[in-house]
Amino acid sequence: MISRLPVDVLTLHAELVAMLVALEGDRSWSHLSGSFSTKTVAGHQYLYFQYSDPGGHRRQLAIGRQTDALRKILRRQQTDRTAVEQERAAIERLAELLRVGGASTLPHAVGRVLRALADAALFRLGGVLVGSYAFFLLGNLLGVHWPEAAWRTQDVDLASHVQIATTTATADVPATLSSLQMGFVPVPQLDPRHPSTSFKVRGKELRVDLLTPGRDGQDAPVFIPRLQAAAAPIKYLSLLMDEAQPAPAISGRGTTLVVVPTPARFALHKLLVSQTRSLVQQTRSGKELQQAALLLEVLAEDRPTDIEVAARGFAKAGPAVTSKVLRALATVERRSPDAAAGVELARAALHS
């Protein structure tokens, strides 16, 4: 059953998004967690930056020989660093108000993984959080608390296009997960010739899956150079990733800005993929239909136009997509009467 969060929580959530986006947009080396130190080498002083990686290992980067120009840059960095720390403190205070107000918070381990990947620039380089944890965060965005059975999972699903219009920057996903020292190891493929697209913590259920839009009949993993990892090609995934938006991921590890699909596209995509599952995947299909129904119920009441716009977008993908979504809508209509208004809005838009 859906429970509504107080209206104040929605206001605080919007403020938190704005603060995180502003902080992310102004990202520089003053955002790095660490400190500067000096060493004397051959009678000259050299500056180093010391920091801890996500796993707690101390690292040290050589900046260069101390000069007046470098000292000036360092003073500016220290001033900027103070401002960043103040902004982060304000963000965490706001996040705490959201927790008290009933906003949903991620499990610590998942929050830690997302923080490390965000710091590695995954989301700045086109990554999108999809799957049940994206659905989880959409609840806060819409001001609702989902029933736990609708989202509970140990899989962190991340999607990315193979190519994007960006610089040559990279977000090394395998190295980032390894640096957490949580025990992540690549999950072997059934075909040993194919690289892994998933990473799992030894002895636990926590898993990170990498996905990318694919075509009919495409099964082989696709290597994404900027992620230094392969991703599983998934048909129709681009329909989900279009119009993605920023969202705060709140956990005991702090608050991280991630990117998630829009609620209406998420709902329609769940309807679509539920009709592509095999018989042995019916449990997964049922969960997808449940998530879609819950989103349609809320959107029909709060943001009906979003359903119509997204449905028209899906209809442009062709009759095969439209027929699958319509078939899933009929199932939702039978199983979830509370979603009837959302079902009708989507159906009408698909036919328009």
Q: What is the pLDDT of residues 209-231, one digit of tens each?
A: 999 999 887 889 999 999 999 99
Label residue 89 exposed, middle or buried (CB < 10 Å: 0-12, 13-18, 19+). exposed
pLDDT of residue 58: 65
- Copy the structure tokens of residue 248: 């705060």
Domain span holding position 47: 25-99
> Domain boundary at 50, 76, 99, which?
99
At residue 237, the pLDDT reads 96
Nearest to 333 by CA among 287, 281, 289: 289
Residue 233 has pLDDT above 80, yes or no: yes
Q: Which residue has the higher pLDDT, 56 or 204?
A: 204
- 9 close to 30: Cβ distance less than 8 angstroms: no
Q: What is the mean pLDDT of residues 170-176?
A: 91
Domains in the chain, number? 2
Report if residue 193 sits inside a domain: no
Q: Indicate the SS3 state at residue 231.
A: strand
Amino acid 27: pLDDT: 60
CA distances, 63 to each of 40, 52, 71, 128, 171 (Å): 13, 16, 11, 33, 22
Q: What percent of the chain has pLDDT over 70?
A: 86
What's the token pair of residue 261? 């699909």
Residues 335-346: tens digit of each pLDDT = 999 999 999 999
- As a whole number of angstroms, the distance between CA 51 and CA 54 comes to 10
Residue 267 within any structural domain of the chain = yes
Q: Decide if pLDDT at 171 tops 70.
A: yes
Q: Is residue 268 part of a domain?
A: yes
95 inside domain? yes
Give how far the C-alpha of residue 5 lies from the chain's centroid of Cα atoms, to the nearest Å.
22
36-50, 113-127, 330-344, range with the lowest pLDDT: 36-50
User: What count of residues does the chain have?
Assistant: 352
**Tokens at 145, concatenated:** 């608390």
Closest by alpha carbon to 220, among 239, 200, 241, 196? 196
Name the domain boundary from 99, 120, 143. Answer: 99
Task: Answer yes or no: are the C-beta atoms of 270 and 289 closer than 8 Å.
Answer: yes
Domain final position from 82, 99, 116: 99
Helix axes 319-335, 304-315, angle to 10 degrees: 140
Residue 217 lies in a domain: no
Query: What's the pLDDT at 280?
Result: 57
Q: Is residue 32 part of a domain?
A: yes
Encode pLDDT of 245-300 as tens digits.
999 999 987 999 999 999 999 999 999 999 998 765 677 889 999 999 999 999 99
Would you place residue 54 in the very low, low, confident or very high pLDDT band (cuts 50, 70, 90)?
low
* pTM for this entry: 0.86
Phi and psi angles of residue 86, each rounded to the nearest 5 degrees, phi first: -65, -40
The pLDDT of 73-102, averaged and rounded, is 84
Residue 132 has pLDDT above 90, yes or no: yes
Q: Is 271 exposed, middle or buried (0-12, 13-18, 19+ CB in 10 A)?
A: buried
Is there a domain that residue 19 lies in?
no
Does 50 reside within a domain? yes
The predicted pLDDT at position 34 comes to 64
Helix (H) or strand (E) holding 329: helix 319-335
Q: How confident is the model at residue 57 (pLDDT cuts 50, 70, 90)?
A: low
Average pLDDT value for residue range 34-50: 71
**Residue 193: band (very low, low, confident or very high) from pLDDT cuts 50, 70, 90:** confident
DSSP 32: S
Torsion angle defined by CA atoms of residues 27, 32, 38 and 44, in that order, rounded to the nearest 10 degrees: -40
Calculate the average pLDDT of the chain: 88
